[in-house]
Amino acid sequence: MWVHPQFNPVALQLGPLAIHWYGITYLAAFGMFLWLANLRVAQPAPAARGWVKRDVDDLLFFGVLGVVLGGRLGYVLFYKPAYYLANLGEVFAVWKGGMAFHGGLLGVILAMALFARLRGRSFFEVTDLIAPCVPTGLAAGRVGNFINGELWGRAADPSLPWAMVFPQSGSTLPRHPSQIYQFLGEGLLLFVLLWLYARKPRLTGQVSGMFLIGYGMLRFAAEFFREPDDFLGLRALNLSQGQWLSLPMIAAGLLIWWWASRRRPA
């Protein structure tokens, strides 16, 4: 049986400056987005819409603000509002961990809406461009979760070859390494599917809708193996809060894809 190695969350200490693994994974996520987005604007469909490489730098700036602010505030509001209300000084202590994908998604939506307005583009034209570049960032975030030994999985059959003990959980139960499942599903698998889907010309909004559908379904499935946080009370019908938050995402993706499919191409 595997045992989580309990990595030091600090990757490098330079005097009083501590560089955390979690921060490095975010830096890697933004770097991969920059690389993939530059490849994306060179594809025939985005290039035909007038996208150029200099747009990518501005998109990254808006995206970073949306991800960091939205992800952190989403975690604060969705998961531990009472704790952070009593500890306001820790609200923006992102180096201690605690980012919510659904909050980050809302933050990116607002940031991209602002970018679209400033550039005179439609909102879905912007999100269709960036959607295939997002899953690798999600994969990097799950690597950070694994290094930190957080968001461990539910108890697993001891005979499962990759079952792992997470001492951080306070028990010696073998568990599913759910961070790895999410890395492979919401990260790599979703990236491959979306990248291949977006390579062909699509109607405005279809790529964005497919992203919401794909992520929502893969996250919903992963939650069956991920241990729900003890401080969350929303578990109606034996579904976790992550699953309840994924359902409207899937519904919105289906609605957007259907709406986009019925529109005439510009």
What separation, in Å, do the N-terminal and C-terminal C-alpha atoms of the chain show?
Answer: 57
pLDDT at 233: 47
| pTM listed for this prediction | 0.86
**Token pair of 87, please?**
């500890």
> Which residues of the chain are under the pLDDT cut of 50?
231-234
Model pLDDT for residues 195-241, shown as the tens digit of each residue: 999 999 999 999 999 999 999 999 999 999 998 765 444 456 778 87
pLDDT at 236: 64
pLDDT at 216: 95
Using alpha carbons, select from 24, 79, 28 the residue that is nearest to residue 245.
79
142 known ligand binder: yes
Model pLDDT for residues 92-110, shown as the tens digit of each residue: 776 666 777 778 888 889 9
